[in-house]
């Protein structure tokens, strides 16, 4: 199997080829239409009422692998003790909660996010004009889906998406970004974190007139500050940013040695923009279960660039491995530190490096719990970092009813997430 | 007097012997039943309408000790100026506020927290089984008191307490934690901050099935990440953690030189878990005035491990001495720093070291003021760090009507907090 | 022109002489009385419907200065394309928003803050008595204006202002602060961040009796901890601090080499106290448009000391140049870092250094957008850092109908902010 690490320094989840993912026929049945199908799917891949098994065996290399036999019966951890059933059971709500919680997880596992149109945060290629990189942008009223079960909301988007296309340039590039306002209201665009000439700073009535309906405005500047930055509305901004006028602006350092692929051996460089206003609690424009999982192999090193475009602080918690925090607002930290929960305030950007050492599906969510879980299960600011052992993934692939083209994009498009499905015969 | 520093690296407030505390008969009258008793108690130890005096005299070693005579009259600071009484006095509310504020402080001084049953955050001893440290836990519906004046709330607890028993192991230990679900609802347990095998990560529907009512689940893993961690529900978690399914999981470093007693000379290592959901604003499961004060001698060095199990950031402010921040989420900081106010986001843990240099009762509270004080006085996220001079404490003890066994636990149990009571004849 | 950098280490915006600001007659028309005058004023300095031009030309030294001609027509950036007017225009609200947003910006540009009585955060000079620096303070019910358009609110103030007078002493000074309570309610004063003798710590019922109506209390202590600190009520504090009983307490280091003027070459040292309670979202007691802009020359280095006296975290975002964060709660950081957005939690103080390298009017605001902008335009926690090129400012001044005494204080008093007005004939 070829090295899954691409050369590109900033590559999104969607553009990295080569990750093998098991993909079972039950998940090719198409869109989830209800809990009936979910139940069928689970039953198909589960031999019993057991908990999830994994196609890889993280416990195989664990020093406690052989241990958990005494208290459990037929599967890891669980031990049914029917003789001590709880007294209170009149309320049906716990069961209701579990069914609802399972249904929403199943939608995530079925790759709901990949089925939705209008994915945001996609790279945009500039047109070269003289020495400038020219980005042509429209500002539009759009319909945007937070997840598949909710009606589309009346949102705003640059080039029709929330988040906007991800702009990536190199330090020293001349950037010309032409914004055509197709809205019925005025606006202005601020490149948050960049050092622009003041008359390009994008604050209506202070540095420019508002961009009125039908008008265009050209922002032209040299990208001076490397790192993780943003662009968003700076006019009626609580409303306009809250409705989706936000995007990532990445400036790669001029010296290739300072880029994350060279500096940290990063193979995936992921932008993670959160918002919490008119579309609820979102990561890159989607709420769980329509958020995209992050897929990686054991041994990969990935970067995540947290960007907060909302109005609340969000403490991002990665289960399992720690995050090494290396930059803040684009500026390298003089003393990088490790943590597993990182509060990101509105307007801040924090870059972290993760060594994907431990296989498994690791929950990755805002630890303000009401931003992540309610009485009907998880929602909002939840996703997962899924780390697979390459050999196990390949073996699973060979033995399963899968397409032979295991590229990650196809897997995602078809509902890649059967990696979480229990495989008969494996031990949890 | 013997050295009050115990050998144990992690010792709670309740288990440290040897601290002398004055304890007057008025405080042995038992539970506070109303403001009447409070007034009586205050009157008994106050010669006049003066402010509190102290049994120790922090100002004796102060370069300004002799100074505050000119503007004050008979006691430190205060100067009654009846000729300039304020015009507005029709409203009775300020008086009402003061009486209510005093009454609640008095309850704190009387050691209300020590009188309540069901103290949480107590150490639990494992059963050794083969090479594993086995912790037997139940998950129960409980009644829990936030303070003595409030009706008990319908809460949840591991082994019946909020916070749960404090688990302490050593890096490299094999941990087996068996959770028996006695609730009428499903649950799952996540060891937040630890690197577990994925199938022990505790996220129902993702890494395991929910632990249904009556069932048990065994989590077994090697404690890999030293430092301050937590365990809590990861199922319907806004609700279940909000109602008390939360506890501390401390992993002592394998190398004794890295433990806080050796590394920083710490004699008390205190876990401080906050929550702000269904039980209001709490520290270790209690709200002021039922929170526990931290008691120390001048010259002691203590550690506090802040853990936020709530849904809001809380900036903890210690009056007087600064805190040296040495670790975040269990990971030592590369550049420890000093501060007096430390914001802790949900899910984060921060370890601080405090040199107890200055004697006195130092308020220690969340600096989001509406989490700490209202129109009826202080409440919620407030406690105090009380630092005594050993010699003064001993002298006070000898001259007072006290039991001769001055261990801290007894002092606490009996209402240790008369240290704040004015002693006739001393100068404020 | 003389060097604008004063000798004083801590100097407020109001006290720095020598900054030239253009000031046009339209702004001397007096108080803004409505949008009619605003429109007139704008028309007077704008040759067309163009965006703002600047009296200095930040783009002149920019490598992209000559570039933005192709997509724009008569002024920087803008390109009217009437043939592609948006379809939807039935709603009048966008126009309403823009008019309201412009009107409020115009009030800011007209220097509304300087026209209001009762400016807070002003330096107070001590009386020397023996070896002590004596500060005489009253605690009063006051009327306070958040901005000119709002009715005065019933507030509280030390010496009649919100924030209180700014106290500045030197490490090792003996401080005697006498507080006379003229309120109809009790209070207590806490010097937040200082290490005082415990009986001067200011927590009623814990370290002192409340200061009752008509009484005085004298706080006397040696200023031990250098840096940025605060003093505020610690009695019914949610209410009393929320209504204005708060101020800055700056302790200059004993060693002059550690002061910001010597250590970082700082010429302006600015205290920035925020509150978010009973007066809304404020900076130094005012909400936009009555907040004070920060005025500097290109090449100046300034310090800002953020102090949060509110109950919410505020992430302060400076457009353009980064902030170098050098101290936290008065303690120098071991690893200063750069950022452009800095979250400040309640009770925290953070000191930042800004190299004023880029000319222009740089927005400076809380990035929790609902604290800064609403459907009627910007409000609350917004101001600007205005950086002028000295030569350009002088030339502008010479050619304009201005008073010849260009000191900053006069400029401010008269409405200094015509720097944002478009000058006919200049290119944006």
The set of residues, in sequence order, having a beta carbon less than 8 Å from that of A66 and lying 6+ positions away, is none
Q: What is the pLDDT of residue C251?
A: 98
Residues of B in contact with A361 (CB under 8 A): 198, 206-207
Q: With a cut of 80, say whether residue B83 has pLDDT above it.
A: no
**Nearest-by-Cβ selection for B348 from A315, A320, A337:** A315
Tracing tokens 């004699």 back to the chain, one arrives at B267
Mean per-residue pLDDT for B191-212? 95
Instruction: Indicate the SS3 state at residue B393.
Output: helix
Residues of B in contact with A54 (CB under 8 A): 198-199
**Nearest-by-Cβ selection for B214 from A82, A102, A359:** A82
Q: B336: which 2 tokens?
A: 């420890």
Answer yes or no: do A239 and C384 touch at CB < 8 A: no
Query: Per mean pLDDT, which range of A198-212, C154-168, C384-398 is the poorest?
Result: C384-398
The pLDDT tens digits of the residues spanning A346-392 come to 999 999 999 999 999 999 999 999 999 999 999 999 999 999 988 76
Answer yes or no: do C235 and B343 touch at CB < 8 A: no
Among A54, A61, A64, which would you mutate to test the B interface (most chain B Cβ atoms within 10 Å of its Cβ)?
A: A64
Note whether C81 and A215 are within 8 A (CB): yes
Residues of B in contact with A50 (CB under 8 A): 209
Q: C232: which 2 tokens?
A: 């505020």
* 3-state secondary structure string across A257-296: HHCHHHHHCCCEEEEEEEECCCCCCEECCECECCCCCEEE
The pLDDT tens digits of the residues spanning A233-270 come to 999 999 999 999 999 999 999 999 999 999 999 999 99
Residues of B in contact with C193 (CB under 8 A): 340
Residues of C in contact with B318 (CB under 8 A): none
Instruction: Indicate the SS3 state at residue C350.
Output: strand
Residues of A in contact with B236 (CB under 8 A): 97, 101, 373, 375, 377
Q: What is the pLDDT of residue B389?
A: 84
Mean per-residue pLDDT for B154-180? 98
Q: With a cut of 50, say whether residue C9 has pLDDT above it.
A: no
Among C347, C348, C349, C351, which would you mutate to test the B interface (most chain B Cβ atoms within 10 Å of its Cβ)?
A: C347
Count of A-B CB contacts under 8 Å: 211
**DSSP for C234-291, written as a single string:** -SSHHHHHHTT-EEEEEEE-SSGGGSHHHHH--SEEEEEEEE-STT-SEETTB-BTSS
**Nearest-by-Cβ selection for A361 from B198, B313, B333:** B198
Tracing tokens 């969607």 back to the chain, one arrives at A14
Query: In which band, very low, low, confident or very high, does the pLDDT at C39 lie, cut at 50, 70 and 90?
Result: very low
Residues of C in contact with B339 (CB under 8 A): 328-329, 331, 348
The pLDDT tens digits of the residues spanning C126-141 come to 999 999 999 999 999 9
Query: In which band, very low, low, confident or very high, does the pLDDT at B166 lie, cut at 50, 70 and 90?
Result: very high
Higher pLDDT, C411 or C256: C256
Q: With a cut of 50, say whether residue C241 has pLDDT above it.
A: yes
Q: With a cut of 90, say whether residue A193 has pLDDT above it.
A: yes
Q: What is the pLDDT of residue C97?
A: 87
pTM, to two decimals: 0.82
CA nearest to B328 within chain A: A339
Query: In which band, very low, low, confident or very high, does the pLDDT at C77 lie, cut at 50, 70 and 90?
Result: low
CA–CA separation, B275 vs B134, rounded Å?
27
Query: In which band, very low, low, confident or very high, does the pLDDT at C66 lie, cut at 50, 70 and 90?
Result: very low
The pLDDT tens digits of the residues spanning B269-312 come to 999 999 999 999 999 999 999 999 999 999 999 999 999 999 99
Answer yes or no: do A64 and B203 touch at CB < 8 A: no
Distance of residue C361 Cα from the nearest chain A Cα, in angstroms: 7
Q: What is the pLDDT of residue C151?
A: 96
Residues of C in contact with A236 (CB under 8 A): 97, 101, 373, 375, 377
Q: With a cut of 90, say whether residue A421 has pLDDT above it.
A: no
Q: With a cut of 60, say whether residue B72 has pLDDT above it.
A: no
Answer yes or no: do B208 and A64 touch at CB < 8 A: no
Distance of residue B305 Cα from the nearest chain C Cα, in angstroms: 19
**Nearest-by-Cβ selection for A236 from C70, C321, C373:** C373
Distance of residue C269 Cα from the nearest chain A Cα, in angstroms: 23
Distance of residue B170 Cα from the nearest chain A Cα, in angstroms: 16
Strands across the sheet with B382-388, in order?
A: B294-297, B382-388, B360-366, B314-318, B341-344
Answer yes or no: do B54 and C335 touch at CB < 8 A: no
Answer yes or no: do A334 and C336 touch at CB < 8 A: yes
Q: In terms of Cα–Cα distance, which of A257, A295, A261, A249 is closest to A113?
A: A295
CA nearest to B61 within chain C: C197
Answer yes or no: do A358 and B198 touch at CB < 8 A: yes
Query: Per mean pLDDT, which range of A333-347, B330-344, C109-123, C410-424 is the poorest?
Result: C410-424
Q: What is the pLDDT of residue A136?
A: 98
Residues of B in contact with C239 (CB under 8 A): 375
Distance of residue B345 Cα from the nearest chain A Cα, in angstroms: 6
Region of A13 (left: φ > 0; alpha: ψ -120 to 50; beta: rest) is alpha
Q: CA torsion angle for A42, A46, A51, A52 (degrees, to 10)?
A: -80
**DSSP for A210-259, written as a single string:** -B-TT-EEEEEEE--S-EEEEEEE-SSHHHHHHTT-EEEEEEE-SSGGGS
DSSP strand pairing (B373-374 vs B377-378) = antiparallel
Distance of residue B75 Cα from the nearest chain A Cα, in angstroms: 46
**Neighbour count for residue A130 (Cβ, 10 Å):** 9
Answer yes or no: do B186 and A94 touch at CB < 8 A: yes
Q: What is the pLDDT of residue C373?
A: 97
Note whether C275 and C282 are within 8 A (CB): yes
Distance of residue C207 Cα from the nearest chain A Cα, in angstroms: 35
Note whether C208 and C179 are within 8 A (CB): no
DSSP strand pairing (B227-233 vs B282-283) = unpaired
Q: With a cut of 70, say whether residue C177 has pLDDT above it.
A: yes
Answer yes or no: do A345 and C334 touch at CB < 8 A: no
Cross-strand pairs, B142: B155
Q: What is the pLDDT of residue A37?
A: 27
Half-sphere exposure of B203 (CA within 13 A, CB side): 25
CA–CA separation, C58 vs C358, rounded Å?
7
Q: C102: which 2 tokens?
A: 């412009």
**Nearest-by-Cβ selection for C97 from A185, A190, A192:** A185
The pLDDT tens digits of the residues spanning A116-157 come to 999 999 999 999 999 999 999 999 999 999 999 999 999 999
Instruction: Indicate the SS3 state at residue C325.
Output: strand
Which ipTM was obtained for this model?
0.80
Answer yes or no: do C348 and B54 touch at CB < 8 A: no
pLDDT over 90, % of chain A: 66
Answer yes or no: do A340 and B193 touch at CB < 8 A: yes
Mean per-residue pLDDT for B228-253? 98
Answer yes or no: do B88 and C141 touch at CB < 8 A: yes
CA–CA separation, C181 vs C37, rounded Å?
44
Query: In which band, very low, low, confident or very high, does the pLDDT at C95 lie, cut at 50, 70 and 90?
Result: low
Residues of A in contact with B156 (CB under 8 A): none
Q: In terms of Cα–Cα distance, which of B10, B348, B332 is closest to B169?
A: B10
Query: In which band, very low, low, confident or very high, does the pLDDT at C94 lie, cut at 50, 70 and 90?
Result: low
Give Rg (Cα) of chain A: 23
How high does pLDDT run on average in chain B?
77
Residues of B in contact with A343 (CB under 8 A): 313, 343, 345, 348
Q: What is the pLDDT of residue B55?
A: 31
Query: In which band, very low, low, confident or very high, does the pLDDT at B395 lie, cut at 50, 70 and 90?
Result: low
Q: B386: which 2 tokens?
A: 């009380």
Note whether B333 and B348 are within 8 A (CB): no
Q: CA torsion angle for C99, C103, C105, C108 (degrees, to 10)?
A: 180
Which chains lie within 8 Å of chain C at 3 or more CB pairs, if any?
A, B
Q: With a cut of 50, say whether residue C32 has pLDDT above it.
A: no
Higher pLDDT, A402 or B57: A402
Query: In which band, very low, low, confident or very high, does the pLDDT at B12 lie, cut at 50, 70 and 90?
Result: very low
Q: What is the pLDDT of residue B1?
A: 35
**What one-character DSSP code corresponds to residue C369?**
G
């Amino acid at each position: 199997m070829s090295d899954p690490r691409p050369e590109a320094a900033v590559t999104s989840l969607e553009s990295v080829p080569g990750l093998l993912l098991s993909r079972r026929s039950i998940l090719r049945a198409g869109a989830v239409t209800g809990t009936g199908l979910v139940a069928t799917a689970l039953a198909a891949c589960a031999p019993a009422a057991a908990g999830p098994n994994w196609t890889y065996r993280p416990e195989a290399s664990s020093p406690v692998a052989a241990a958990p036999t005494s208290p459990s019966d037929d599967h890891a951890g669980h031990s049914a003790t029917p003789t001590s059933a709880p007294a209170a059971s009149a309320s049906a709500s716990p069961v209701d909660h579990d069914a609802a919680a399972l249904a929403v997880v199943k939608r995530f596992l079925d790759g709901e996010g990949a089925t939705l149109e209008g994915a945001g945060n996609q790279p945009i290629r500039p047109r070269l004009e003289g020495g400038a990189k020219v980005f042509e942008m429209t500002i539009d009223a759009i319909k945007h889906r937070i997840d598949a079960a909710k009606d589309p909301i009346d949102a705003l988007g640059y080039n029709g998406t929330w988040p906007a296309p991800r702009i990536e340039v190199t330090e020293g590039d001349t950037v010309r970004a032409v914004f055509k306002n197709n809205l019925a209201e005025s606006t202005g665009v601020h490149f948050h974190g960049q050092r622009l000439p003041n008359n390009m700073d994008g604050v209506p009535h202070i540095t420019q007139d508002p961009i009125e309906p039908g008008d265009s405005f050209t922002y032209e500047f040299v990208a001076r500050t490397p790192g993780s930055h943003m662009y968003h509305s700076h006019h009626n901004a609580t409303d306009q940013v809250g409705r989706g006028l936000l995007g990532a602006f990445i400036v790669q350092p001029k010296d290739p040695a300072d880029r994350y692929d060279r500096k940290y051996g990063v193979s995936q460089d992921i932008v993670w923009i959160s918002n919490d206003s008119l579309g609820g609690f979102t990561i890159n424009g989607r709420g769980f279960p329509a958020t995209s999982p992050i897929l990686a192999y054991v041994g990969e090193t990935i970067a995540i660039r947290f960007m907060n475009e909302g109005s609340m602080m969000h403490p991002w918690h990665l289960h399992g491995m720690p995050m090494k925090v290396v930059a803040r607002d684009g500026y390298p930290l003089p003393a990088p530190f490790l943590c597993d929960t990182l509060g990101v305030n509105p307007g801040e950007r924090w870059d972290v490096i993760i060594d994907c050492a431990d296989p498994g599906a690791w929950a990755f969510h805002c630890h303000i719990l009401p931003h992540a879980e309610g009485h009907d299960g998880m929602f909002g600011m939840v996703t997962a970092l899924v780390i697979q052992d390459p050999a196990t993934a390949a073996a699973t692939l060979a033995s399963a009813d899968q397409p032979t083209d295991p590229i990650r994009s196809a897997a995602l498009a078809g509902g890649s997430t059967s990696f979480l499905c229990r495989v008969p015969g494996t031990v949890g």
